[in-house]
Amino acid sequence: MTAENNIQNNVKVYVDVDAHFCKDGRLIPRAIIWEDGRRYKIDKVIQIARRASLKAGGCGIRYTCIVG
């Protein structure tokens, strides 16, 4: 499967996230745990922003992260 085909077939998948809650209220994601149990360490959080969910509705906080 090419990257182009993968982008065209986007399917929302819910995954577990290992996160650290700081005493000042910040949440810092540390790792993503995939459906099959594979764990991906988050190397760096590059952006934290409040965003609306265009597909599911509502709003939340989006973390843009570098993995690997």
Average pLDDT of the segment spanning 27-42 = 95
Phi/psi at 16 (nearest 5 deg)? -80, 150
pLDDT in tens, 38-67: 999 999 999 999 988 777 778 888 999 999
Put the strands of the sheet holding 59-67 in their side by side order: 16-21, 27-33, 39-52, 59-67
Per-domain residue ranges of the chain: 14-67
pLDDT value, residue 64: 94
- Who's near 55: CB < 8 A, 6+ residues apart? 12
Cα distances (Å, whole numbers) of residue 55 to 12, 16, 59, 67 = 9, 20, 11, 24
Residue with more model confidence, 46 or 5 = 46
Average pLDDT for the chain: 86
Q: Tell me the C-alpha distance between 15 and 5, whole Å.
A: 22
Which pLDDT value is given to residue 9? 65
* Per-residue confidence (pLDDT) for residue 19, from 0 to 100: 97
